C-alpha cells in the first residue's frame, strides 16, 4: 500500500513539474515572438516614414527644377532632370514593396522585414541622389554669385603681375651681358611666355563674364579657373627671372669652393702608391676641368661648369673610396695573417704527431694531405699578396685537419683494433704486413700481444701530446 502511495506521489509530482516547465517554455516562446513582431512593426513604421520623406523630397526637387531652369543652362537642367527621373524610379519600387507589405496576403516576419528594408534602401537612394544634385546646384549658385568679385580680383592680379614684366625683361638683358646663353636657357623665354599667359587670362575672364550673363554656371566657373591658373603661372615665370641672378651668384660661390676642394683631392690622389688603372685618367679629368674653370674669360655658365666639375670630382671620389676600402681590407688581412699561420701550424703539428706516433696504420690519403698542408703553408709564408697568403694559410689548416681525421680513421679500421693491417685487408699493405712475420700477421700471441701493449702506450702518449697542443 505504501508503494502505491509513493508511486502516486511521484507521478503527480512529475506531472506538475512537466506542466510548470511546459508553461515556462511557452511563455518564453510567446515573449520571443512578441519581441520579433515588435521589431518588425517598428521597422515597418520607419519604412513608412522614409517613404513619405522620399516622396516629399521628389516633389520639392521638381519645384526646384523650375528655378534651375531660370538660373542655369541646359547642362545643369539635364543633369538635374535625370536625377529626378532616377529618384522616381526608386520611389516607384518602394511603393510596390509597401503595397505587398500591406496587402491581404499574410506575410511571415522575415518577409515583412525584408520588404521594409527594401523600402528603406530605395528611399535612401532617392535622398542620396537628390542631395548630390542639390549640393552641385548650391555650389554653382555660389560660383555665380561670387563670380563678379572673383573676376575683379583676377584682374587685380593681372595688373600686379604686369608690373613685373618690364623689370624682368631688364634683368634678363643684364644677365645676358654677364652669362653665357646656355646659362640663361631655362629663363630666356619666361618674359614672352608670361605676357602670352596674361593675355590668355584676360580673354578667359571675358569668357567667364559672358557665360555668367548667359546663366551658364559651369562654363563660367571653368573659364574663371583657367584665368586664375594662367596668371599664377605668369607670376611664377617672372619670379624665376628675378631670382636668376641670385642663383647664378650662389652657383659661382659654390664653384669656388668646389675648385678648392678639387685641388686638394688631386694632391691626395697623386700620393697614392698602388694606383689602379682608372686613377690617373680620373685625376687628369678633374685637373683639366679645374684649370679650364680658372682660365675662363668672358661670359660664363656657372651652372654647367659646376655640374661638369662635380661630375669629375665625383668620379675621382668613387675611385679613392675604392682604394681606401681596399687599403682597409689589406690592413685587416695583415692583422689576420699571423693568426691564420699559427692555426695552420697547430693543425699540422697535431696531424704530424698522429702519423709519427702511430706510423704503420696511417695510410697514403692522410699522409698526402699532410704533405700538401706543409707545402701550402710554406707558400703562404713567402707570399707577397696578403689576401692570397691568408687564404693559403687557412687552406693549409683545413688540409691538416683533414689529414688528422683520415689518420684517425685508418687507425680505427686498420690498426690494433681491427687486428689487421692498413685498410680492410688482413695485413698491413700485404698479407703479412711490412715483413712476413710483422705487424698483424694473424692472431695476437706472444710478440703480437707485446706490440698491442706498446701500441696502447703510444696512443696514450699521443693523446697526452695532443692535449698539450690544444691547451
- Residue 459 phi/psi, 5-degree rounding, is -60, -40
**What is the pLDDT, as a whole number, of residue 399?**
93
d(CA 360, CA 455): 11
Q: What is the gyration radius of the CA atoms in the chain, in angstroms?
A: 51
Give the up-direction half-sphere exposure of residue 232: CA atoms within 13 A in the CB hemisphere: 7
d(CA 173, CA 188): 9
Q: 419-435 as b/e, with b when 16 or more CB fall inside 10 Å?
A: ebbbeeeebbeeebbee
**What is the pLDDT, as a whole number, of residue 69?**
67
Q: 246-281 as b/e, with b when 16 or more CB fall inside 10 Å?
A: eebeebeeebeebbeebeebbeebeebeeeeeebee
**What is the pLDDT, as a whole number, of residue 234?**
94
Nearest of 348, 341, 338, 346 to residue 379 by alpha carbon = 341
d(CA 375, CA 397): 11
d(CA 216, CA 72): 5
State the maximum Cα–Cα separation within the chain, in Å, rounded to a whole number: 140
In this prediction, residues 142-146 reach a mean pLDDT of: 79
Which has the higher per-residue pLDDT, 461 or 22? 22
* Range from 24-33, 312-321, 355-364 that averages highest in pLDDT: 312-321
Read off the pLDDT band of 374 (50, 70, 90).
Answer: very high
The answer to whether 129 touches 82, Cβ cutoff 8 Å, is: no
Read off the pLDDT band of 33 (50, 70, 90).
Answer: low
Which has the higher per-residue pLDDT, 124 or 434? 124
d(CA 131, CA 234): 39
In this prediction, residues 209-227 reach a mean pLDDT of: 85
Which has the higher per-residue pLDDT, 75 or 120? 120
Whether pLDDT at 15 is above 90: no
User: What is the per-residue pLDDT across 393-420, written as a single tens digit (0 to 9) for each?
Assistant: 899 999 999 999 998 888 888 654 334 4
User: What is the per-residue pLDDT across 277-335, written as a single tens digit (0 to 9) for each?
Assistant: 888 888 888 888 888 777 676 788 888 888 888 888 888 888 888 888 877 877 888 88
In this prediction, residues 340-364 reach a mean pLDDT of: 87
Whether pLDDT at 457 is above 50: no
DSSP state of 438: -
**What is the pLDDT, as a whole number, of residue 466?**
39
Helix, strand, or coil (residue 179): strand
Amino acid at each position: 500500500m505504501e508503494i502505491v502511495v509513493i508511486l502516486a506521489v511521484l507521478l503527480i509530482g512529475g506531472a506538475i513539474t512537466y506542466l510548470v516547465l511546459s508553461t515556462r517554455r511557452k511563455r518564453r516562446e510567446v515573449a520571443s515572438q512578441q519581441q520579433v513582431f515588435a521589431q518588425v512593426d517598428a521597422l515597418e513604421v520607419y519604412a513608412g516614414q522614409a517613404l513619405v520623406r522620399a516622396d516629399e523630397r521628389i516633389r520639392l526637387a521638381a519645384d526646384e527644377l523650375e528655378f534651375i531652369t531660370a538660373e542655369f543652362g541646359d547642362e545643369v537642367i539635364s543633369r538635374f532632370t535625370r536625377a529626378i527621373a532616377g529618384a522616381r524610379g526608386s520611389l516607384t519600387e518602394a511603393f510596390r514593396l509597401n503595397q505587398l507589405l500591406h496587402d491581404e496576403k499574410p506575410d511571415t516576419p522575415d518577409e515583412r522585414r525584408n520588404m521594409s528594408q527594401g523600402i528603406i534602401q530605395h528611399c535612401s537612394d532617392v535622398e542620396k541622389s537628390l542631395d548630390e544634385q542639390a549640393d552641385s546646384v548650391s555650389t554653382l549658385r555660389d560660383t555665380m554669385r561670387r563670380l563678379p568679385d572673383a573676376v575683379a580680383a583676377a584682374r587685380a592680379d593681372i595688373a600686379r603681375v604686369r608690373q613685373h614684366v618690364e623689370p624682368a625683361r631688364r634683368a634678363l638683358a643684364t644677365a645676358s651681358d654677364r652669362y653665357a646663353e646656355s646659362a640663361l636657357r631655362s629663363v630666356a623665354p619666361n618674359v614672352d611666355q608670361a605676357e602670352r599667359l596674361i593675355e590668355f587670362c584676360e580673354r578667359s575672364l571675358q569668357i567667364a563674364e559672358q557665360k555668367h550673363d548667359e546663366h551658364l554656371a559651369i562654363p563660367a566657373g571653368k573659364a574663371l579657373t583657367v584665368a586664375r591658373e594662367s596668371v599664377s603661372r605668369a607670376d611664377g615665370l617672372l619670379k624665376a627671372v628675378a631670382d636668376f641672378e641670385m642663383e647664378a651668384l650662389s652657383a659661382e660661390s659654390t664653384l669656388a669652393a668646389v675648385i678648392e676642394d678639387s685641388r686638394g683631392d688631386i694632391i691626395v690622389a697623386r700620393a697614392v702608391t698602388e694606383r689602379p688603372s682608372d686613377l690617373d685618367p680620373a685625376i687628369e679629368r678633374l685637373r683639366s676641368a679645374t684649370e679650364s674653370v680658372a682660365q675662363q674669360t668672358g661670359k660664363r655658365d656657372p651652372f654647367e661648369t659646376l655640374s661638369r666639375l662635380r661630375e669629375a670630382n665625383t668620379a675621382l671620389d668613387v675611385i679613392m673610396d675604392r682604394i681606401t676600402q681596399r687599403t682597409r681590407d689589406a690592413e685587416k688581412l695583415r692583422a689576420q695573417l699571423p693568426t691564420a699561420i699559427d692555426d695552420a701550424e697547430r693543425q699540422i703539428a697535431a696531424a704530424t704527431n698522429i702519423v709519427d706516433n702511430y706510423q704503420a696504420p696511417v695510410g697514403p690519403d692522410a699522409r698526402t694531405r699532410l704533405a700538401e698542408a706543409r707545402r701550402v703553408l710554406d707558400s703562404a709564408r713567402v707570399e707577397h699578396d696578403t689576401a692570397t697568403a691568408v687564404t693559403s694559410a687557412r687552406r693549409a689548416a683545413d688540409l691538416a685537419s683533414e689529414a688528422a681525421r683520415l689518420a684517425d680513421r685508418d687507425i680505427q679500421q686498420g690498426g690494433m683494433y681491427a687486428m689487421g693491417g692498413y685498410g680492410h685487408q688482413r695485413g698491413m699493405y700485404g698479407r703479412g704486413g711490412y715483413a712476413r712475420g710483422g705487424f698483424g700477421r694473424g692472431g695476437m700471441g706472444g710478440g703480437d700481444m707485446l706490440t698491442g701493449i706498446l701500441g696502447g702506450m703510444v696512443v696514450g702518449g699521443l693523446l697526452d701530446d695532443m692535449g698539450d697542443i690544444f691547451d
